[in-house]
Structure 1
Amino acid sequence: MNKNVVFGSLENIDDILFMALQLWTDNTYDGLREELTEILNNEKETILLYKLENEFIGFNHVAIRHDYVEGSNSSPVGFIEGIFVKENHRGKGIAKILVRSGEEWAKSRGCTQIGSDVEFHNVESYNFHKKIGYTEVNRIICFLKNIG
C-alpha cells in the first residue's frame, strides 16, 4: 500500500466525517457519524485515508459484499462504496492511489473482482472509473412507489 494511505479508525472519525459530509450531502452529521462508527467497527469494511503531511485529504470506503454485485461472476466481491478527494487536491492521482489500495485490501480478503457504481448524472466519477480501468457493465434506473 502507498505510504500516504492509512486505515481509518475511530481516532480520525471527525476527519472522515468532514469529507464524507461533502460527498454524501443528504446525510446528517449525527446519522453519518453513527454509520461511520459502524463501518469502522466492521471487519468486512474499511475506510482508507490519504494523508498529506498532517492533513487527511481523501478517503475510499471499501466493503466486501457477498450479495450479487452487478456484472460480477464471483463472490465475495470488493465494492467501492464511496471515494472522495478534497477539491484542491483533485487531478493529482490521489483517488487512483486510494482505489488501488482498496483493490489490494479486497484482494487480500479473497476477492477476485471489485465493483463500483456512480449516479447517472455524475460524469466526473464515470470518466474517472473508465480512466483507471473499470468497465461499465450495466445501467439501471431505480423506481419507487409509496403504497402505504
Structure 2
Amino acid sequence: MEESMFDVKIREACIRDVRSIKELSEQLGYFVTHEETRSYLNDLRQDNQHVIYVAEMNNEVVGWVHVSLYKTLVSEKRANISGLVVDRNSQRRGVGKELMRSAEEWAKNWGCHGVILRSNVIRQEAHLFYKGIGYGQTKSQYVFIKNFKP
C-alpha cells in the first residue's frame, strides 16, 4: 500500500500472513490455532465492512490492525478497531502509528465520523500510545459475554 519514513510498508492482510498474525496475536495473549486464524482471516477478507492491515519491515510482518464499520441506533457511523498489535521488538518505531493512520483513512473513506476502540485496563502503555495519537478516553465499562455451546 505505502511506505512511511520509518520504512514500514502497510498493506491488506492476505492468507500467507496467517502464521505471522497468529504469532503476533499470541503476544497479546490470544491463543488460536493456525487453522482458526486462517478461517477467521478468510471470512473477514470476504466482508467489505472489515479490513485487516499488516505492517512489514524488511519483508517481515511486524504488526496488524483489524478495523470494521460500527453502526448503532444511537450514534453516527464510526469505525471500530477490533485489534491492534505490534511485535514487541518493533514497538516505538512508528509501526502502530502507521497502522492506525491506515485504519483511520479506511474509516474516512467509508464516511465514518470517527474511530472507537477498547483497550484492556491493564495495557497502560497502549493507553499512552492512543492518547499520544489523539484518542481520548470517554468511559470505563464492563464487558459481559455469554458463550453458546456449539
TM-score between the two structures when normalised by the length of structure 1: 0.83
Deviation at 1:13, TM superposition (A): 2.6
Structure 2 CA distance, aligned partners of 1:100 and 1:144?
Answer: 30
- For structure 1, which segment, 11-20 or 95-104, has the greater mean C-alpha deviation from structure 2 after superposition? 11-20
Structure 1: unaligned runs, 5 residues or longer = none
Kept in 1: contact 2:79–2:115 (CA 8 A): yes
Q: Which residue of 2 aligns with 1:35?
A: 40
Match of 1:74 among 73, 76, 86: 76
Would you identify which runs of 4 or more consecutive aligned residues in structure 1 move more than 6 Å?
A: none
| Percent identity over paired residues | 27
Q: Which residue of 2 aligns with 1:101?
A: 102
Q: Which residue of 2 aligns with 1:47?
A: 52
Deviation at 1:19, TM superposition (A): 1.7
What SS class does the counterpart of residue 88 from structure 1 fall into? Answer: coil
Deviation at 1:18, TM superposition (A): 2.4
- For structure 1, which segment, 25-34 or 95-104, has the greater mean C-alpha deviation from structure 2 after superposition? 25-34
Correspondence 1:1-148 to 2 at 5 A: 2-3=2-3, 4-67=9-72, 73-75=75-77, 77-143=78-144
What SS class does the counterpart of residue 89 from structure 1 fall into? Answer: coil
Structure 2: unaligned runs, 5 residues or longer = 4-8
